[in-house]
A = this chain, B = another copy of it.
């Protein structure tokens, strides 16, 4: 019996699809990476079904690529060698909110906006905000972060437990419900960010937070990128508790103004959010004003109500989409380096200079409190010269970051696009990672061709 017929013996036919439209939907993500069709899409409804799928895949040595909503930016969900695309959209229950433990248990197909709608009823929220309305399973698999990690940490920091189905079909738990543990090896951290290469996630227990007493968002504009970055360093050094501190360069603000209901000054801008108790927050804002006054600051404006705040963060989140809309027919390539804070200004200046030299369409945004910035490039993937320029540009940026103790990817993951930088970034640690992969997935059926080149 072929493996698809075997799958159909225990998964109802309506959840096993070889329809070409469905296959095409599961062949690509939001990025420039070349699509590749799976042979079949399975929609599991339980860990038991995922375990059965893995056992059959293992027996027939069929690749399995997990799929959330396909918002990856590095080709993670593309089934490079065909096989099974495992779509978690039916596993989208919020299993349990535990308000006294500041925890929530969810299935992997729950999106972050759905989770936050539910948590709001309990006065709680989930902190990680990568912009896209990704699934929590996908966010765990790529170790996503975004605008709030400067205060609350990255996806890995929120994970207390993952129920994982391994390559051989075994189900296990990486952690527990306790706030900390020194028992055994830290599998939470190892599986977070493993990009579907070590196992499939079937349940997550995540940390949540109380909604703060007061939230104020603001926009600070500057005459130069340098002043903007200096402001970031000075604000953080002063111990001011910013919850978000985002750089949007003048090119990105221009693009946002075109496609959002905004008319922001087209200058290097910081979007800053303060959170806390009222007295502490107001003191933080006063401090920030003093810091900005000492720099080349153009204006500092506040959004105190929810509507103004949502508009501001909506504009920030739509920056990439604004570029996509602005360059129809072109594909999105996003750089994602992360550097020590002291190297960030130099890195961004160098990136802007080289962007100009290559005459590429794009702009820079950054989670600058973490030293992480993106160049949003719009490229014509049919134009070999443009693709080559974009690749060279990315290479320049990555090498600049790695020479200064940085990482080739702060939050998007390796996927397909960053594999070529793994030797340079990890050196003698790369064989250790590969040995772990080989131990847990000896047949290389879990998302092959991601993170590591096939041997």
Contact = CB atoms under 8 A, between A and B. Distances in A.
Contacts of A181: 338, 407, 409-410
A170 B428 contact: yes
Contacts of A409: 181-183
A167 to B, nearest CB: 11
A412 interface: yes
A438 to B, nearest CB: 8
Nearest to A166: B432
Contacts of A412: 182
A92 interface: no
A429 B184 CA distance: 9
Q: How many copies does the complex hold?
A: 2
Contacts of A95: none
Interface string A431-455: 0110111111000000000010000
A187 B434 CA distance: 12
A163 B369 CA distance: 26
A178 B280 contact: no
Given A233-B100, A429-B172, A193 B188 contact: no
Interface size class of A (residues with CB under 8 A): 35 or more
A27 interface: no
A339 B450 CA distance: 37
A183 B407 contact: yes
A237 B404 CA distance: 41
Interface of A: 98-103, 142-145, 149, 153-154, 156-157, 166, 170-174, 176-190, 192-194, 198, 210, 212-213, 233, 236-239, 241, 276-284, 287, 336, 338-342, 369-372, 401, 404-414, 418, 421-422, 425-430, 432-433, 435-440, 451
Given A173-B429, A184-B414, A277-B287, 16 more contacts: A145-B182, A170-B428, A176-B406, A178-B338, A178-B370, A178-B371, A179-B372, A179-B410, A180-B410, A180-B411, A181-B409, A182-B193, A185-B193, A185-B437, A241-B276, A280-B281
6 contacts: A100-B342, A149-B179, A177-B406, A182-B407, A183-B407, A190-B190
